[in-house]
Structure 1
């Protein structure tokens, strides 16, 4: 199994990024500096931070600490919490002669923290004293006059004790305003770092993009206002899109001002943005095969393999690493297996090697998704062994898991076809034959580049196998899943938008343009339309035109109409009449269902059918 943690081994080959960022971070001429390491969730940002940390180990005068921002998500005052945690970490690392200064800084943070708590708790008392109006206090303090008096006294004592405890080393001229306290903290923090044994403090902030928007802003602001002083470098790993969203939530756009606040805010906080690119399909293919090797080789041996691949520049050769190349390197380096035998590795690697090209195209360059796919495959393989022993061909299991990843609707359809298996799965055989001969209907959802590649994955003649046991193992996927529209093409999104605001006279042009889409784009369009028909959210003149022009989707359209619980309005009768006249065979059953459900009356169905007779 592959855990969703930062990796100790650079399987993603981020070492060049780590080297550059580490070199910048340890250069005192560049600080104070805040570096943004931007990448999508699951892109490997935590792994990159770990590599940077290794590069900075044992660097003279460089102290490196890592803070997980998500740990502070539940704190009422995340600003003081993260400041205290950072100072405590640094106190452990700094030279002995500096520790006292850090202890004083922690006391100042405690003043901020306790002061904030006192203000929120005693605000009514303060308001009453300041204004001479007892109402705020009386509304918040219950009990007798004596109890109220005690509350006021306790409030005053609490505030004085805070001052005595945390400001006793200061003179009486202290200005305790927020601005002055920030200034003093920055001065004291900067002064504490002015030591011959401290060249630079490098603070790496991870998982910031897992926090709520308000918490993200708080943490960014505490870095900018309190902590970014000479001899400090902050490295913030996050998804830039999440940061921008948080900024827009906190600071909405101003009417009449053409200012990109989210962009300008980030530019103010982050001086050096570094973007981790999405892995290419080739990179993901390599990653999948290397993950398999990692699970079978001894850890030290696997590290040697990765180092050799990097040294030989195989990863940037432009070609996908083959299984033969991996085995050749393993033999040349005389690497060690975890169980002493490479036969299990080759069996698993051959299966992944067969499907990795098509899997890579579905993972959107995301290493975390690659791990999850392999973990699902391994888990299902073990379940298959427990349930069925040696009856399961794991290459078939792998192929079906890929289909589910590619298109859950087609996965469900294959299961339905399998229920009609006698000596073979005739409907799938027809699809496979048409695909190989190149005469499949252009609108058929199986007629996409990805699906054609899937059909050719081994075992090719899938129609010869009963698949009940395989679908049992994956039965949680035999229901409609949520649809991710982010991967839809621009053309698909435009067609959906036009359909959403269309009027009857506009459908001819929309249908004409929709027919220009490729099979995958048409399939994506119907993935959105069909559920909307079921919910009664699509007007019947649209349903009619789609029914008349897309034969491959007639069955799904009819099924969706039958599932709807929305009563048919008079305007829908004319559309149903046209559909019935075009294909009575497809419409008869659904019209009867609609009458039984009460969405259509007997009189209406008679009207629809009599028109055909006339």
Structure 2
């Protein structure tokens, strides 16, 4: 199993990025500096920070020239004032764990004493003082006390602040917030000078897990209080989360006004470094290296070599990630002088090779839908190992149980949950047969690269086609129900499709349902494919689900039937089950359009209705030539 946490083992070939950032922190010309390490959630930002920290420690083992501190933003989520919490945490870490600051504990205590920003923050909230905009850029955002408060109110605020600071007289006419920031920055800068270090590197992680308010407070703490000479801050965050937080705190004044978020980020982050999204081949290699990490020996110092390091050195030496080469078992074998059980921490060689083979085949399919995300890759493997362990308990006497089939079914579950559930229904319906005939049909057609017939058009997606052609290819000949039993938490057939819609998809779905004008909902349905922000198939599935419950939505099925031929079979199944009283002159026009779009395919629906006694005048309208 793999925990959802950072690693000091570079399975993602991030060492060049780590080396780059380490070199930047050693360049005295580039401080004070704030680096933005941008990457999507799960992209490996925390692991990259660990690699940088490791490099810095190796560069200065004494910790007297380069001091590296790691802070987790999420830890401060519950504080009233995250700014003061972060600043105090940094100072206490310097006092408790850093040799360079061993003789400066009194100065640190004095500075911690000066940070009573919890009270100062409460004072600001109490009086509604706009802390940030009065300090971050006074030239452009002059939100000072003198502009916003009366003389009496200003005196009241100053008295509160004097009690908090308990240090020196503060003149009323002075911008108090800026003065307090200046005092702290000076004392913090003096502390670093006395330590005689070359640079203080502060890594701030997990910022994209925090609320928008905490994101802003953390950025402000860095910019206003802590960014002084001989400091480098590395802030790991999803850039989109940061932009959202800024827009949430400082929304546009008018629709046409300038977006403030980009300017704000530019003022905070001097050097943005983006972690590129991993390619499909990168993710395949990552999945396989995770398997290697699970089995290969990590070594015992002075006794046994670290076999994983040997393999990773081979990966780096051959530029596997740079050249876009997929790792295979022969490559793994070539990394070792002696390839046998001695290289393993657990299990036998044949067990390792079998697992490597299963994940190797599955990775060809699963990599395409993990969106270059290492965390999702770990989660897939963790889910597989959990189900594998359950299978070993449930089916320990079943020698026919094939873990490759389990892995392939899980890949389908990740690719398209609706098709996964459809295959489950096929498996149930074909229990008495030797084969799952529907799966056999679409597998053979896909293997020949032919076009799927209308009733199976939902399986024509490129990822699904790759899944159908992947090993084990003879899935239709297997008893899949025992494998589905291990995935039954995903098979709640009673769960509504609309419940799985995202925010943007739900808005479109509701707009279609609520629309009364045919021209409006028809256009919405026709244009669904063009909207790149949604998964349009989920909306269409939800619409058909609603149609099954409410035949009054028949007219809205007309544009769906005409524009999306892959859904015709499912719509026709619903039409055949409708009561004959629901097929009338009011709905005949919509049905006529469906008939005209697909006369041969619609003939079985017409036959079903005529067998039930459909009125001739209604039938004439449906089959009339336009």
* 2:119 is aligned with 1:114: yes
* Aligned-residue CA RMSD (Å): 4.3
Residue in structure 2 matching 1:543, options 557, 567, 570? 557
Residue in structure 1 matching 2:484, options 450, 458, 471? 471
Alignment match, 1:527: 538
Taking the aligned partners of 2:477 and 2:522, their CA distance within structure 1 comes to 43
Tell me the TM-score normalised to structure 2 length: 0.79
What is the CA-CA distance between 1:7 and the residue it aligns to?
Answer: 1.0
Alignment match, 1:336: 343
Find the residue that maps to 2:69 and give its secondary structure: strand
**Distance change (3 Å), C-alpha of 1:161 and 1:549:** closer
Alignment of 1:402-417 (within 5 A): 402-417=411-426
Higher mean displacement: 99-108 or 36-45: 99-108
Find the residue that maps to 1:263 and give its secondary structure: helix
Alignment match, 2:209: 210
Alignment match, 1:376: 383
* 2:106 is aligned with 1:100: yes
Residue in structure 2 matching 1:319, options 322, 325, 336? 325
Deviations 1:161-200 (A, max 9, x none): 956xx636x5788979222111111111111111262111
**Distance change (3 Å), C-alpha of 1:387 and 1:222:** same
Taking the aligned partners of 2:226 and 2:282, their CA distance within structure 1 comes to 38
What is the CA-CA distance between 1:117 and the residue it aligns to?
Answer: 4.0
Alignment match, 1:396: 405
**Quick check: 2:170–2:176 contact (8 Å CA) kept in 1?**
no
What is the CA-CA distance between 1:298 and the residue it aligns to?
Answer: 1.3
* 2:415 is aligned with 1:425: no
**Quick check: 1:534–1:561 contact (8 Å CA) kept in 2?**
no
What is the CA-CA distance between 1:279 and the residue it aligns to?
Answer: 0.3
**Distance change (3 Å), C-alpha of 1:560 and 1:22:** farther
What is the CA-CA distance between 1:469 and the residue it aligns to?
Answer: 0.7
Alignment match, 2:589: 574
Find the residue that maps to 2:282 and give its secondary structure: helix
What is the CA-CA distance between 1:319 and the residue it aligns to?
Answer: 1.8
Alignment of 1:13-24 (within 5 A): 13-24=13-24
Alignment of 1:336-375 (within 5 A): 336-339=343-346, 341-375=348-382
**Quick check: 2:282–2:324 contact (8 Å CA) kept in 1?**
no
What is the CA-CA distance between 1:429 and the residue it aligns to?
Answer: 1.1
Find the residue that maps to 1:67 and give its secondary structure: strand
**Distance change (3 Å), C-alpha of 1:199 and 1:561:** farther
Alignment match, 1:556: 570
What is the CA-CA distance between 1:132 and the residue it aligns to?
Answer: 9.7
* 2:84 is aligned with 1:69: no
Tell me the TM-score normalised to structure 1 length: 0.80
Higher mean displacement: 278-287 or 194-203: 194-203
Find the residue that maps to 1:95 and give its secondary structure: helix
Find the residue that maps to 1:383 and give its secondary structure: helix
What is the CA-CA distance between 1:408 and the residue it aligns to?
Answer: 1.2
What is the CA-CA distance between 1:324 and the residue it aligns to?
Answer: 1.3
Taking the aligned partners of 2:78 and 2:421, their CA distance within structure 1 comes to 41
Taking the aligned partners of 2:562 and 2:29, their CA distance within structure 1 comes to 70
**Quick check: 2:199–2:231 contact (8 Å CA) kept in 1?**
yes
**Quick check: 2:123–2:161 contact (8 Å CA) kept in 1?**
no
**Distance change (3 Å), C-alpha of 1:7 and 1:283:** same
Alignment of 1:486-505 (within 5 A): none
Taking the aligned partners of 2:619 and 2:125, their CA distance within structure 1 comes to 73
Alignment of 1:118-129 (within 5 A): none
Taking the aligned partners of 2:217 and 2:609, their CA distance within structure 1 comes to 57
Find the residue that maps to 1:36 and give its secondary structure: strand
What is the CA-CA distance between 1:71 and the residue it aligns to?
Answer: 0.8
**Distance change (3 Å), C-alpha of 1:344 and 1:203:** same
What is the CA-CA distance between 1:347 and the residue it aligns to?
Answer: 1.0
What is the CA-CA distance between 1:91 and the residue it aligns to?
Answer: 2.0
Taking the aligned partners of 1:3 and 1:590, their CA distance within structure 2 comes to 58
Find the residue that maps to 1:202 and give its secondary structure: strand
**Quick check: 1:46–1:206 contact (8 Å CA) kept in 2?**
yes
What is the CA-CA distance between 1:14 and the residue it aligns to?
Answer: 0.6
**Quick check: 1:530–1:560 contact (8 Å CA) kept in 2?**
no
What is the CA-CA distance between 1:442 and the residue it aligns to?
Answer: 6.6
Alignment match, 1:448: 461
What is the CA-CA distance between 1:106 and the residue it aligns to?
Answer: 0.5
Taking the aligned partners of 2:616 and 2:226, their CA distance within structure 1 comes to 78
**Distance change (3 Å), C-alpha of 1:32 and 1:589:** farther
Taking the aligned partners of 1:563 and 1:234, their CA distance within structure 2 comes to 65
Taking the aligned partners of 1:613 and 1:118, their CA distance within structure 2 comes to 77
* 2:249 is aligned with 1:250: yes
Find the residue that maps to 2:37 and give its secondary structure: strand
